[in-house]
Chain A
Amino acid sequence: MRPATTRLALAASALLAATAGHCANWELDLDLRAVTSDAGRSVLDGGYSPTRFSEHQSGLQLGRLRLALDMPVGELWKLHLDASAWGNAYENPVGLTEAYLQFRPYPRDSFRLRMKAGAFYAPVSLENGAGGWASPYTLSYSAIDSWLAEELRTVGLETKVDWLGTRVGLPFDVGAVAGVYGWNELAGAALANGGFIVDDRQTPLFDSVGKLKSPAGRRIEPFLQIDGRAGYYVGMDLQFPGRLMITALRYDNRADPSASDAVAHVLAWHTSFNSAGVRAEYGAGWTVIAQWLAGQTEIAPGSSVLEWPFNARYALLSKRFGRQMVSVRYDRFEVASRNAELDGQQSGHAWTAAYVFDPGKSWTVTVEWLRVTSSSYSWGEFLDSSDPVTDTQAQLSVRYTLGSTSY
């Protein structure tokens, strides 16, 4: 048996074995896609296009195969494991996107505490609330969330405290969150090397994605710890539960940009950003999301400092009609470059339109159209032009979900 196949079998067996004999929830999703695209090779695969699929990948594709497990550990702890396969996109055919232990004591005196330890997403996304950190609105995530999926993950601890106004007769809750983490010191490398993208692949933990320009052609391993310094994030949110959510978050991986890994021959990328957003939902099935994120990533090879400020924002409008949902999203994104060669500079926007039909508990059918227009100095290097390039991708997704909800 090939090592990769063995790892896949072991991962699946471990997840299933963990559910046996316990009151655990598990979910298995198979998402198949019919794709047509006029894009070049994706940034995710070492190319220069900001979409997931290229023209050569038009046809039938695996969207995602996912197995997730939620298992209570005692009364107040929960173990969550989320494993996915994305086709032959990564070194390992299947990998964990999240794995954490959560502590959730009963709320007391209007306060609710939640703690997580392990690997998980920082609470930045306002759209990816479905299982497996997927978006219920579109197949492709916003540029902000695509970037988070590509190279950000908290490998550490998070504590969230909510003051539950809704439990004392007020209409809102207020929350504060803080996280401390390591093993994310190449976060930012993909932005500087390939720019923002609009896709739905999530780099598995401790796997690699895209490619670096230096060392040339080397795949980016976002989940490395180089200088021993912990990163942090702090955030606040105001929630009118299920109706309105306003969030703000400060993120800084505190990497030393001059530190390098002698074995991997890569530098630590110091990446920090601020993010704010609002999500509003109305009784008639309307959802509006708007989010903004801006920050900077830098490295300091030798005596020089190379900086790439970046920002991205989007607005999404969605309307649910019973079992059907229509969504439209507009993304804008820029990566600047303060380097003499302007390497990695990017400016672009994207339109995404999706129709989701949920005919029954197990099936979901989604049609999505995506058009990304983006200029990039990096592309100009290879395409002999820095003019904006427009890529169009259409997908039909059929997803089948099996699950057990035993606790």
Chain B
Amino acid sequence: MRLSARSSHAPARTSTAAIAAAVLLCALLRAASAAAASIAITLQLPDGTPLADAAVTVQPVGKKLPAPAPVHAVMDQMNRMFMPEVIVIPVGSTVSFPNSDSVSHQIYSFSPAKRFQLPLYRGKPYPPLLFDQTGVVILGCNIHDWMIGYIDVIDAPFYGVTDSRGSWSTELPNGRYEIKVWHPRMREESPALVRELTVDATDRAALILRLTKPLRLQPMEGQSGDTY
């Protein structure tokens, strides 16, 4: 059983100084079934508290696997905020934007991966939107200027979002992988933390990543935008 991890050398993805104490790789617990391993990734803030809603994508190195099947996701609007703040979807997926607030919203994005506008609405008047290009789509509300949400449209075969414990896990076939972790309010020097990982004859591993800098604070209702 063997599992290793090291920094990626991919120029655009390299993040060397970004992780404090680098990667704490805990090794593996049991003997392996040869073909696959379960990995658990935990993301922490500098003080050790878990970071939820971070996007995790895993891409094999040197070979291309087909993109995962499209899904249907929901980005709600509650208390004049996007809920959740971040979602991750495979390319070709659809997303609904219900408004659960009592006030109307006017949602837009001018991100290259998806430009759209949803005129003033409450409830669920619009059909889901198709996201057919990869990239981060940043959402705003034209009424409540502080509202910001993020949709990470990916083509990596393995993906997910960290839970309230800052964790995400999956099953990976043996091989070499690039693991990317991204949160919109990370202040690391690179836009995403990238690590390479080799899965080989091991059935379970835990990877703990700790950020060096606290997150930027989440925008909140302030003076900008309408007050009601």
Interface residues of A, Cβ cutoff 8 Å to B:
23, 25, 27, 70, 72, 75, 104, 106-110, 112, 126, 129-131, 164, 166-169, 171, 239-243, 245, 279, 281-283, 403, 405-407
Chain B residues whose CB sits within 8 angstroms of the CB of A241 once the complex forms:
145-146, 148, 219-220, 222, 224
Q: Are B110 and A107 in contact (CB under 8 A)?
A: yes
Interface residues on B, range: 20 to 34
Majority SS of interface residues in chain A?
Answer: loop
5 A-B pairs with C-beta separation under 8 A: A23-B120, A104-B142, A104-B143, A242-B219, A403-B228
Q: Does B164 contact A (CB under 8 A)?
A: no
In the complex, residue of chain B having the shortest beta-carbon distance to the beta carbon of A126: B223
Q: Are A167 and B222 in contact (CB under 8 A)?
A: no
Nearest-Cβ distance from residue B61 to partner chain A, whole angstroms = 26
Q: Are B142 and A25 in contact (CB under 8 A)?
A: no
B144-176 CB mask vs A (1 if < 8 Å, else 0) is 011010000000000000000000000000000
- Bound-complex Cα distance A243 to B222 (A): 8
Chain B residues whose CB sits within 8 angstroms of the CB of A239 once the complex forms:
224
- Bound-complex Cα distance A406 to B226 (A): 14
Chain B residues whose CB sits within 8 angstroms of the CB of A281 once the complex forms:
220, 222
B208-228 CB mask vs A (1 if < 8 Å, else 0) is 000000001111111110111
Nearest-Cβ distance from residue A180 to partner chain B, whole angstroms = 22
Q: Are A168 and B108 in contact (CB under 8 A)?
A: no
- Bound-complex Cα distance A115 to B185 (A): 31
In the complex, residue of chain A having the shortest beta-carbon distance to the beta carbon of B139: A167
- Bound-complex Cα distance A282 to B216 (A): 11
Given contacts A169-B191, A239-B224, A241-B219, contact A109 B142 (CB under 8 A): no
Q: Does B36 contact A (CB under 8 A)?
A: no
Q: Are A164 and B142 in contact (CB under 8 A)?
A: no
In the complex, residue of chain B having the shortest beta-carbon distance to the beta carbon of A80: B226
Given contacts A405-B102, A405-B103, contact A169 B219 (CB under 8 A): no
Q: Are B142 and A407 in contact (CB under 8 A)?
A: no
Q: Does B184 contact A (CB under 8 A)?
A: yes
Nearest-Cβ distance from residue A246 to partner chain B, whole angstroms = 13
Chain B residues whose CB sits within 8 angstroms of the CB of A405 once the complex forms:
102-103, 228
Q: Are B138 and A169 in contact (CB under 8 A)?
A: yes
- Bound-complex Cα distance A107 to B140 (A): 9
Nearest-Cβ distance from residue A75 to partner chain B, whole angstroms = 5
Majority SS of interface residues in chain B?
Answer: loop
Nearest-Cβ distance from residue B190 to partner chain A, whole angstroms = 12
Nearest-Cβ distance from residue B100 to partner chain A, whole angstroms = 13
Chain B residues whose CB sits within 8 angstroms of the CB of A109 once the complex forms:
110
- Bound-complex Cα distance A169 to B108 (A): 15
Chain A residues whose CB sits within 8 angstroms of the CB of B184 once the complex forms:
169
The 9 A-B pairs of least Cβ separation, nearest first, read A129-B223, A241-B219, A242-B222, A242-B220, A407-B104, A242-B219, A405-B103, A131-B227, A241-B146
Q: Are A171 and B110 in contact (CB under 8 A)?
A: no
In the complex, residue of chain A having the shortest beta-carbon distance to the beta carbon of B184: A169
Chain A residues whose CB sits within 8 angstroms of the CB of B227 once the complex forms:
129-131
Chain A residues whose CB sits within 8 angstroms of the CB of B191 once the complex forms:
169
Nearest-Cβ distance from residue B126 to partner chain A, whole angstroms = 14
In the complex, residue of chain B having the shortest beta-carbon distance to the beta carbon of A403: B228
Nearest-Cβ distance from residue B138 to partner chain A, whole angstroms = 5
B99-125 CB mask vs A (1 if < 8 Å, else 0) is 000111010101100000101101000
In the complex, residue of chain B having the shortest beta-carbon distance to the beta carbon of A404: B102
Q: Are A75 and B146 in contact (CB under 8 A)?
A: no
Q: Does B1 contact A (CB under 8 A)?
A: no
- Bound-complex Cα distance A108 to B145 (A): 14
- Bound-complex Cα distance A70 to B120 (A): 14
Chain B residues whose CB sits within 8 angstroms of the CB of A164 once the complex forms:
140
Chain B residues whose CB sits within 8 angstroms of the CB of A107 once the complex forms:
108, 110, 140, 142
In the complex, residue of chain B having the shortest beta-carbon distance to the beta carbon of A170: B216
Chain B residues whose CB sits within 8 angstroms of the CB of A25 once the complex forms:
103, 228
Given contacts A169-B138, A169-B191, A405-B103, contact A131 B228 (CB under 8 A): yes
